[in-house]
Chain A
Amino acid sequence: MTASDLFQAQGLTKTYPGVRANDDVSFSVRPGEIHALLGENGAGKSTLVKMIYGLVRPDAGRMTLDGRPHAPADPRAARGAGVGMVFQHFSLFDALSVAENIALGMDAPPPRAELSRRIADVSAAYGLPLNPSRRVASLSAGERQRVEIVRCLLGRPRLLIMDEPTSVLTPQEAEILFATLRQLAAQGVAILYISHKLEEIRTHCDRATILRHGRVVGTVTPRDHSARELAAMMVGAEMRVVDRSGRQAGEVVLEVAGLTSAAGLDGTPLREVGFAVRAGEILGIGGVAGNGQEELIAALSGETTGRPGTVRLGGADVSALGPEARRRAGLLAAPEDRLGHAAVPEMSLTENAILTAATRQQLVRGGLIDHAAARRFAERVIAEFDVRTPGPGTAAGALSGGNLQKYVIGREILQEPRALVVNQPTWGVDASAAAAIRQALLDLAARGAAVVVISQDLDELLELSDRFAALNEGRLSAPVPTEGLTVEQIGLMLGGAHGMEVAHVAA
């Protein structure tokens, strides 16, 4: 470590019951650099930045900021010392205006007119156009993030922490965000950038500190390493490459035509969605969350039923059938929200097996549950999908996100569906588990199932799908072959950058 460091951490340790979240973590950030924190889910990234931002107090170790000891008691103290943080999940009030939201998040908000002027100044200076009087409810995800960033910048931070900022953005929006970050860095602000998107880090970050199981593996210059090398450092083993071979497209299995639906809770209604998936084929559906994904999977799983002829399985009209009848016919689904939708957190894994596998696995006879059969099926899912858990009696809510996701996806795949629809199959799942899930989806297609993958992760869609379609404001684009498709082309299909690039040209 050198005297030029803006921020230093030495020997930071934080233990939660049963987990050592951070173990002797030391690293440093220089002024004017974009410094990545890289690691799998559960590697300790969140705990580390929460200590810097004053949300969590370390058990041992010390931090310095600008050469002075940094031990914030709460986020207000951290902000006072010059640390700003933009969270992955926004904390904005839909019913309030941009300016009101920003004022709420400030320790000492200035008068409204003064605040509006300063918001305008900051957004002009950094190419983040914002109308202070607009209601947050009407803003896109990218615009909401801008509100959070502007709120941070008004506090003139020396160290800005960004927690997975691009997970909600289209590729073009992400490019614009990086332009802003580079401009900040050029003015000497240090940026601590959390992500597990390797390409993004290789392109944009000056240095990267890699965490694994709460320990620092090393600090590297990401440009000097390939994405596979970085992933290997993150996971501690060579990454598995998915095997796409051995598949042949057959008859059309799942056919959707003219699917229109009402909006779910703060969602987007589907408008005339149509596509067809053949046996052995994977259709990827991309798009930023909130553009009809929830509504689409509900319409396919049978949670909402549609007009006759809108959903067909193997030629038979299943539009009017509920979830159980569709499962009997062979159409299965795995929703995005693991806790409370795909699984009941308080119930055991055995009971969660009954939730969707009761009919196809004959876990219920004459209305009575065969608990032994349910446990056997749960054990099979656990064994074949490498779910790390003490046993099938464990409550679903006690599993880590990745393990529960493996269980939820495995539960559907092992039922050998004719068609499977999954939403965000690897969201919040670490790299090795994600690879296993993707391979299982490919294997299922190779056995002749039609698979629909709805995801926000474009790399995942490019890796898995044979054809790609974009869901934007409830409309689905015509599917195109994935082969030869670039990330830029996909970004345009997703509806561009929601008007952000214009502002940047002007600025």
Chain B
Amino acid sequence: MLRLEPRTAAPWWLGLAAPVLAVLATMLAGGLLFALMGFDPVAAIRTIFWDPLFGPAAGYSRPQLLVKAGPLVLIACGLAVGFRAGIWNIGAEGQYIVGGICGAAVALAAYPAEGAWIFPAMVLAGAAGGWAWGMIPAVLRNRFGASEILVSLMLVYVAQKLAAWAAFGPMRNPEGFGMPGSRNLQQYPPAANPELIAGTGIHWGVVAAGVAVLATWLLMSRHIRGFHIRAAGMAPRAARFAGVRPEALVAFCLGLSGALAGMAGLFEAAGPGGQITDSFGSGYGFTAIIVAFLGRLHPLGILLAGLLLALTYIGGELAQLMLSLPAATVQVFQGMLLFFLLAFDTLTRFRIRWGKAA
């Protein structure tokens, strides 16, 4: 019989080795899968992990790395703060969508006005929208003890319907010949979130992600609130004894992660995406959960993990284009990554024993 036995003392480096091992195992298992499907596994892996950075088309794909990593890192930073406290916001995707809608609404209401206030106001509205969407599970948990996991997740689907309604209804472009979707904000300069330095992919969302990495690192390692968040995650009673009010912590964590996800949504709507459509959500909110765990809930780790997951997006697209791998490749890869990470995490804390109990 197979049993898991807790390790008395796990070596410190195992915690850091797990993400690296998970990436390697994902490559191996992915290669095996491609071979079974009749593709050349070496070429597939190289197309996904190597070509976007150093291949012939790297000039196009390298800036895309930051475009994709920006929202992932921004969202994951907020999620990681809550995860440290044991507050599980699974609905960042919904907060991302609502943030995008709210921010775009400010731009569309202002159209065709000019003014330097418009873009900052959109950012604030995006953050506020995400915050409000995150506060729904917070209030329901504090008031009725409802699971924030289920509520936040279900609100994703509500947000998706909201985006469809906005794209077909009030936000539809009056000059869009009846096509669903809002005006393209890229073509409305006061509201646009353009590439700041040509050829790098850096837009305001990437800048915000960098600020979020620094700010959450400061919060978690230097600020007393970050200390209380960690204490609450490890020993809730001790945190209470230290003076932490659990309800306030739930509101703070869900509000913060919601606001950051909402900002990410706005930056996307005003930048790379350009408009609110009925399929505005792009899965960043869910992938960010993988980013947070792969980065060990640490801001620096999240930065690296965000870049890696962005690579799988771009490499997956490239593989579709070059090798005609199926479109689901990216999702399979990301899913395997999380699976292997959880498996290796379990093995850092437990060892496998065969045979019956001693």
Contacts and interface: CB of A to CB of B under 8 A. Distances in A.
A369 B242 contact: no
A294 to B, nearest CB: 10
Interface of A: 17, 301-303, 322-325, 327, 333, 335, 337, 339-347, 351, 354-356, 358, 364, 367-369
User: Across chains A and B, which 10 residue pairs bring their CB atoms closest together, nearest first?
Assistant: A324-B243, A323-B243, A344-B235, A340-B235, A341-B237, A355-B242, A344-B238, A364-B224, A346-B234, A344-B234
A369 B224 contact: yes
A355 B222 contact: no
B234 A355 contact: no
Contacts of B353: none
B324 interface: no
B225 interface: yes
Contacts of A367: 223-225
B241 A356 contact: yes
B11 to A, nearest CB: 14
Nearest to B219: A367
B304 interface: no
A351 B227 contact: yes
Given A340-B235, A341-B235, A368-B222, A323 B227 contact: no
B242 A356 contact: yes
Contact of A355 (B8, B238, B245): B238
12 contacts: A322-B245, A335-B241, A339-B235, A340-B238, A341-B235, A341-B238, A344-B231, A345-B234, A347-B234, A354-B227, A358-B224, A358-B242
A347 B229 CA distance: 13
Nearest to B238: A344
Given A345-B234, A355-B231, A323 B224 contact: no
Contact of A340 (B222, B230, B237): B237
A368 B224 contact: yes
Contacts of A351: 227
Most buried by B among A325, A333, A342: A342
B241 A323 contact: yes
B240 interface: yes
Contacts of A364: 224
Given A17-B8, A347-B231, A367-B225, A323 B237 contact: no
Contacts of A356: 241-242
Contact of B243 (A322, A341, A342, A345): A322
B72 to A, nearest CB: 28
Interface string B156-191: 000000000000000000000000000000000000
Contacts of A355: 231, 238, 241-242
A344 to B, nearest CB: 4
Contacts of B231: 344, 347, 355
Given A344-B231, A355-B242, A337 B237 contact: yes
Contacts of B242: 323-324, 355-356, 358
A327 B238 CA distance: 15
Contacts of B240: 303, 323
Nearest to B240: A303
Interface string B305-348: 00000000000000000000000000000000000000000000
B103 to A, nearest CB: 29
A344 B235 CA distance: 6
Given A303-B241, A355-B242, A356-B242, A369 B223 contact: yes
B227 A343 contact: no
B181 to A, nearest CB: 44
A301 B241 contact: yes
Nearest to B230: A347
Nearest to A370: B222
A343 B238 contact: yes
B244 to A, nearest CB: 9
Contacts of A303: 240-241
B169 to A, nearest CB: 44
A337 B238 CA distance: 10
Nearest to A297: B241
Interface in B228-283: 230-231, 234-235, 237-243, 245
B37 to A, nearest CB: 44
Contact of B241 (A342, A354, A368): A342
B249 to A, nearest CB: 13
A337 B237 CA distance: 10
A407 to B, nearest CB: 14
A344 B233 CA distance: 10
Interface in B170-220: none
Interface string B1-15: 000000010000000
Contacts of A333: 241
A393 to B, nearest CB: 13
Interface in B1-33: 8
